[in-house]
A and B are shown apart, each in its own frame.
Chain A
Amino acid sequence: MLNQREILETLSMIDNQHLDIRTITMGISLRDCAHPDAEICARKMYDKITRYAENLVKTGEDLEKEMGIPIINKRISVTPIAIAAESCETEDYSVFARAMDAAAKQCGVNFIGGFSALVQKGFTIGDRRLINSIPEALATTDFVCSSVNVGSTRAGINMDAVKLMGQIIKKTAHITRDNDGFGCAKLVVFCNAVEDNPFMAGAFHGVGEPECAINVGVSGPGVVYNALKGVKGESFDVVAETIKKTAFKITRMGQLMASEASKRLGAEFGIVDLSLAPTPATGDSVARILEEIGVEVCGTHGTTAALAMLNDAVKKGGVMASSHVGGLSGAFIPVSEDEGMIAAAEKGVLTLDKLEAMTCVCSVGLDMIAVPGDTTAETISAIIADEAAIGMINNKTTAVRIIPAPGKTVGDSIEMGGLLGTAPVMPVHNEGSADFINRGGRIPAPLNSLKN
């Protein structure tokens, strides 16, 4: 029999420390949905998604009840639409976004990812069509998420794509201006995008993935925070060890839920993503963990080192707990989705530059950041280029999800509601980067030796 202390520890994690499964994401291949007629292609996509994911939400709810652990999100990711729809003779790919949206609503999930293109080395016809359709697609759908991979360690950075994405983000903000540019919250620009990411907005079902897979993202900043409260003043050896043990427990739970879910849904068990994913709820914040480790406010000197240690310890603890680890696997630092990050940004301690440094040592990148509405497309492109360079050189995933909030300026904030939270508008440098961005072309792939 389990001892009482262990049982109560688990219950306390669930009840008081926000332990939950952040997402169960079903990846579905749409590679067999190609058809020259866009309407038929979109219908095939809708039919396939609704057929495979028919029981996703119900299975998730059953598991929640049986295990007594909340599963916050049930989601779907699909083959990048630029690939799945490339044979269609249409310029406007938003028709596929609407088919995805309808399928998501039919299945009862709250996000569907994969309105995506992978252009790290160059554009195909379908890639260009998809990227140009992003603003319309995000404005006319509720649940569709979009991502574009503009660089990789092996290919370098496609600076033409970086330039284009700056313009697309501005355009998306403009046509969703009545909602503070909300469309941009569903759009991620990646370097080294992963194929099995269960987290939105960047999830898509990569070309190397099986027909249908279940990927699970665990959560748990609150649990780590609580565990660290018990080791105040101890050395980093103790801190790292405590985080590892906690991450192990959290991940074991994720592994169990993932394997049960995939068995019941007849899908392959893909991966468990070992990420610490915060929510705007008090006590579920990555920033507060860093502050518990000892920095007064997240963003001050020492933050990067604390985050590096946290990120590494989470992985070390989690990796033994799961049979397959993948996805983004690291601590997330989305500003608007993390109560402590919001507070630190509002104080002016957490800046874009510090966040950029933090992204060197954790997953994923500049995430859910609102900047003034008059930020130029070139400046946004330059922010993307900086972030992509960090990913390219360090052989890791980096991303930018940035919202140039129309009509807003530093001191304002935008409300996105739910898990997306509140984003204080953060200042950007006013000096331009237009000449840099207008060069275009590609930044060559980096050397992988002589690392200094």
Chain B
Amino acid sequence: MNAVITVVGKDKVGIMAGVCVELHKLNVNILDISQTVLHNDIFTMNMLVDISKANVEYDKIVDSLSACGENLGVSIRIQREEIFDAMHKI
């Protein structure tokens, strides 16, 4: 099952590293990444990930990622890919 992770917050060193380490811990595989820094300040990243081999339940992934976001000072959320597909693809 695929999910989309979005990370938004003030740019600083180590956001990408922090998120990737957390995903590694959860055994979540990264399929695609799109990342940019808006206005030289706002870090925005979308990741497509495969959560089918994750070592915890979905709601634990949600909790771990939002805790990780708090540590990094950014907002991280994960949503199933279907919701975006439903809205933007026919």
Contact = CB atoms under 8 A, between A and B. Distances in A.
Interface of A: 1-4, 6-11, 62, 65-69, 249, 252-253, 255-256
A66 B87 contact: no
Given A4-B34, A7-B4, A66 B84 contact: no
Given A252-B87, A253-B86, A68 B79 contact: yes
A120 B46 CA distance: 55
B7 to A, nearest CB: 11
A252 B46 contact: no
- If over half of B's interface residues share one DSSP class (helix, strand or loop), that class is named, otherwise mixed; here it is strand
B4 to A, nearest CB: 6
A1 B48 contact: yes
Interface of B: 4, 6, 31-32, 34, 36, 44, 46, 48, 58-59, 62, 77-88
A65 B59 contact: yes
A387 to B, nearest CB: 36
B86 A1 contact: no
Nearest to B83: A67
A256 B82 contact: yes
Interface centre among A4, A8, A68, A255 (most CB of B within 10 A): A68
A442 B39 CA distance: 69
B87 A249 contact: yes
B44 A4 contact: yes
A65 B78 CA distance: 9
Given A66-B79, A249-B87, 19 more contacts: A1-B48, A2-B4, A2-B85, A4-B34, A6-B88, A8-B44, A11-B6, A65-B62, A66-B80, A67-B83, A68-B78, A68-B79, A68-B80, A69-B83, A252-B86, A253-B86, A253-B87, A255-B86, A256-B83
30 contacts: A1-B31, A1-B32, A1-B48, A2-B4, A2-B48, A2-B81, A2-B85, A2-B88, A4-B34, A4-B36, A6-B84, A6-B87, A6-B88, A7-B46, A8-B44, A10-B83, A10-B88, A62-B58, A62-B59, A65-B59, A66-B58, A66-B80, A67-B83, A68-B77, A68-B83, A69-B83, A249-B87, A252-B86, A252-B87, A256-B82
A3 B32 CA distance: 11
A4 B46 contact: yes
Contacts of A256: 82-83, 86
A1 B30 CA distance: 12
A366 B19 CA distance: 52
Tell me the interface secondary structure of chain A in the complex: helix
B87 A10 contact: yes
Given A10-B87, A65-B58, A253-B87, A2 B80 contact: no
Q: Which of B34, B36, B46, B48 has the most CB of A within 10 A?
A: B46
A253 B88 CA distance: 10
Counting chain A CB atoms within 10 Å of each CB, the highest count among B6, B79, B86 belongs to: B86
Contacts of A3: 34
Contacts of A6: 84, 87-88
A11 B75 CA distance: 12
Contacts of A9: 88
B80 A67 contact: yes
Contacts of A7: 4, 6, 46, 84
B65 to A, nearest CB: 12
A13 B44 CA distance: 17
A254 to B, nearest CB: 9
B1 to A, nearest CB: 9
Contacts of B79: 66-69
A313 B88 CA distance: 19
* Among A3, A66, A255, residue most surrounded by chain B Cβ atoms (within 10 Å): A66
Contacts of A69: 79, 83
Contacts of A68: 77-80, 83
A376 to B, nearest CB: 50
A65 B85 CA distance: 17
B77 A2 contact: no
Contacts of B31: 1
Contacts of B58: 62, 65-66
A41 B4 CA distance: 49
